[in-house]
Amino acid sequence: METAIPTTPTPDDAALWHAGRLYLADQRILPERAEFLVYERADAVAEAIRDMVVRGAPAIGVTAAYGVVLAARAAFAAAGAGWKSAIEPDLERLAASRPTAVNLFWAIRRMRDRIAVLDAADPEPALLAEARAIHEEDRAANRRIGELGAALIEGPTDIITHCNAGAIATGGYGTALGVVRSAFAAGKVRRVYADETRPWMQGARLTAWELMQDGIPVTLQADGAAASLMAMGSVGWVVVGSDRIAANGDVANKIGTYGLAVMARYHGIKVMVAAPTSTVDMELASGAAIPIEERDPEELLGCGGRRIAPAGCAARNPVFDVTPAALVDAIVTERGVVLAPTPEKMRELMG
């Protein structure tokens, strides 16, 4: 069972392992309150991922890795030398928690690879070391992404970002906001315009909060206001993260990203997708094969605990959409930059 603790998280604290327990910053209540929830069971971690306590593809992957550690602890306590069989139900629960973010499956697969070479002894120390390595590698990857993405920006300019791809969506530093942080430090960013991002308002609640914490000028705008801002001529880039990138460079990201990219192309504005290579799924030929999560329509029918739509109104609530590679100017990863992505360029990137 999750329990609130008084420690206050910062934007770099989406997930922390401390004293044998996993702490997750509750992203559902930011910025009104900043607090951790503590987890000791893998099934509760899976529920936290499903319920949006933690969100953002890299952060979900890091969280799932720590969830595997908790699963291993429970399996060894229950079955001893037979822990490899006993852990399977928890691994399946973790994998089923969200369908679109490929980092979730990447992290579980990497932990499974580690499990495969372990013997019958207590697996927790080895799996914890692997989970910590995943976490640290993601932090380092984000900083490299920030450097490479910032190098593409000729400033000073304004930037539009959609949803939240900041430190709290990752292992630390951020993907899209990592680019913003690095570019701002280099004097290339005048102002960031953050789309509010209905219905969970990640842009309003999380992106604005993170940028204000860093002292980066930010202005919030309704999702539908982006085109009018683009027409004013001050925006040079749209910079977003991703939850899954297909082998041809098609990009799944928060719902509304596709429309933003269409508008950017019309106005001559470049689109940058910042994501670690753990987000790239070379097994999917195109974005058409990416599973798109649909959440409870009630999330769209109300706002702030108050229903805003008439009773009986139907609602469609896809969480992501797919932006075709043809609308993406640059995919920035820790391994390098892919300009005008194609299947051949993606294969070269991924080796």
- pLDDT over 60 at 5, yes or no: no
Phi, psi of 155 (to 5 degrees): -115, -175
For 255, list phi and psi in degrees, rounded to 5.
Answer: -50, 130
Mean pLDDT of the chain: 95
How many residues would you count in the chain? Answer: 351
Q: Final residue of a domain: which of 139, 173, 200?
A: 139
Q: How confident is the model at residue 51 (pLDDT cuts 50, 70, 90)?
A: very high
Q: How far, in Å, CA of 56 to CA of 98, rounded?
A: 11
Q: What is the mean pLDDT of residues 59-79?
A: 98
Please check the confidence at residue 1 and state whether its pLDDT lies above 70.
no
User: Residue 41, SS3?
Assistant: coil
- Is residue 9 very low, low, confident or very high in pLDDT (cuts 50, 70, 90)? confident
Q: How many independent structural domains does the chain possess?
A: 2
The residue from 139, 164, 179 where one domain ends is 139
Convert the pLDDT of each residue in 156-172 to its tens digit: 999 999 999 999 999 99
CATH of the domain at 340: 3.40.50.10470
Residue 121 confidence (pLDDT) = 95
Average of per-residue pLDDT across 124-151: 97
Q: Is the dihedral of CA 107, 113, 116, 122 positive or negative?
A: negative
CATH number at residue 133: 1.20.120.420
Residue 338 parent element (H or E): strand 336-339
Nearest-angstrom CA–CA distance, 138 and 349: 18
Backbone dihedral angles phi then psi of residue 348, each to the nearest 5 degrees: -65, -40
Look up residue 166 and give its DSSP letter.
Answer: B
The tokens for 31 are 């910025």
- Check: CB of residue 146 under 8 Å from CB of residue 186: no
Which residue from 337, 349, 347 is spatially nearest to 148, judged by alpha carbons? 337
Q: Out of 158, 243, 321, 329, which one is annotated catalytic? A: 243
Residue 188 CA, distance from chain mean position: 24
* Residues 17, 131 within the same domain: yes
Kind of pairing, strands 15-18 and 21-25? antiparallel
177 and 313 in a single domain? The answer is yes
Per-residue pLDDT tens over the stretch 195-215: 999 999 999 999 999 999 999
Q: Which amino acid is residue 143, in one-letter code?
A: R
- Taking alpha carbons only, the member of 244, 144, 42 closest to residue 257 is 244
153 and 85 belong to one structural domain: no
At which of 86, 118, 139 does a domain end? Answer: 139
If asked whether residues 231 and 296 sit together in one domain, one would say yes
Domain that holds residue 285: 143-350
Is 113 catalytic? The answer is no
35 with 132, same domain? yes
Q: With 90 as the cut, is the pLDDT of residue 340 above it? A: yes
Phi and psi of 203, rounded to 5°?
-65, -45
Check whether residue 117 and residue 204 sit in a common domain: no
pTM of the shown model? 0.92
Confidence of residue 341 (pLDDT cuts 50, 70, 90): very high
